Amino acid sequence: MTGKSSYSVVFMDVLAPAVQRAIASVFEPPFVVRFAMNYDPAHQLDLCRSADFLVPGWAQLTAEMLEAATRVKAVHKWGIGVDRIDVAAAKRLGIPVVITAGSNAGPVSELAIALMLAVYRRIYYVNREMRAGKWPKSEMRESCFQIHGKTVGLVGFGNIGRKVARRLSGFEPQRILYCDQSPAPPEIEQSLGARRVEFHELLASSDIVSLHAPYTNETRHLIGRASIGRMKKGSVLINTARGELVDEAALADALARGHLLGAGLDAFDPEPPDLDSPLLKLDQVIVTPHAGGGVFDNVVPVAAHVLRNLKCFMAGQPIAQQDVINAGTRRPI
């Protein structure tokens, strides 16, 4: 590897000290890691100006920030979603954009199933009632359900959707349906027990609808009043993808009317959600802070994935195609 004696790799998210230490333990010279102290725009802009590589997760990366990042050789997303990165600006500036494809699929898929169980078994409600000195055992039997025997519909069947299907098999659902622009190979469908259907059929047939699609202009409010109206009465919505996929007002209305049994939400629009959001006032809604991939024992593997790609970039070697969003034109210096 030739060029400068060191390269600054800037992690743009505010991370706990233990997470910073775990990431730093992976990196080695000539890469030197730095971490954001806050999300203040001026601070984030300064980080961009001084970085050789930018690693945003939840942090936003705008055209203005990319234009100021004259030293930056590549942007490497921590995770997979690039909707908070101005990819068009990066492409215009010749800056490569790379992701860690599949790196968070395991933790996110586990949370999706945890949310299904939490909604079906009313975990939030019963935990609160018991802490208040109540014993709601009798009422739980008439209002709780199991995944066994249910139809689960997966909207999006990439790395995360497939891992959800694999993990669901132990719960013995009746069927696993999925919709995706690209059909999975027949051997994958067979091994996971999943069948591809059209979106409208998935909505009408599923007891649980779980979202695993990216946010694009086309998928904004994919789950809106019309699509919710097509869902089975008493069904459940799970969203561990992006908040923008769901019309939250329409969802809250459907829950309040009893058309939907409940929802498990790890993503919101905006984030964090407004405190007066009606979704936060409903017992049948389980919420988590967009932390599907946020498990400590996955930090080192994701950091190693990032480092591996940066080494390939600096050595002029190809990066796995599934990780490349924009190849860019900038080269190592």
Provide the annotated active-site residues: 242, 271, 290
User: How far apart are alpha carbons 283 and 297 in whole angstroms?
Assistant: 31
Residue keyed to tokens 């806050």: 38
User: How far apart are alpha carbons 13 and 164 in whole angstroms?
Assistant: 27
Give the dihedral sign, CA 46/49/53/55: positive
Sheet holding 194-196, edge to edge: 194-196, 175-179, 151-155, 208-211, 235-239, 260-265, 285-287
The Cα-based distances of 202 to 38, 86, 155 in angstroms read 42, 32, 8
Give the ranges where 132-281 is alpha helix by DSSP (H). Answer: 137-141, 159-168, 186-192, 199-205, 225-230, 248-257
Give the ranges where 30-183 is alpha helix by DSSP (H). Answer: 41-50, 63-68, 87-92, 105-120, 123-131, 137-141, 159-168
CB-CB contact of 73 with 44 (8 Å): no
Residue at 317: amino acid letter = Q
| DSSP codes joined into one string, 6-44 | -EEEEE-S---HHHHHHHHHH--TTEEEEE-S---HHHH
The Cα-based distances of 126 to 34, 118, 121, 141 in angstroms read 43, 10, 9, 12
Q: Is the peptide bond before 29 cis (omega within 30 degrees of 0)?
A: no
User: How far apart are alpha carbons 61 and 191 in whole angstroms?
Assistant: 39
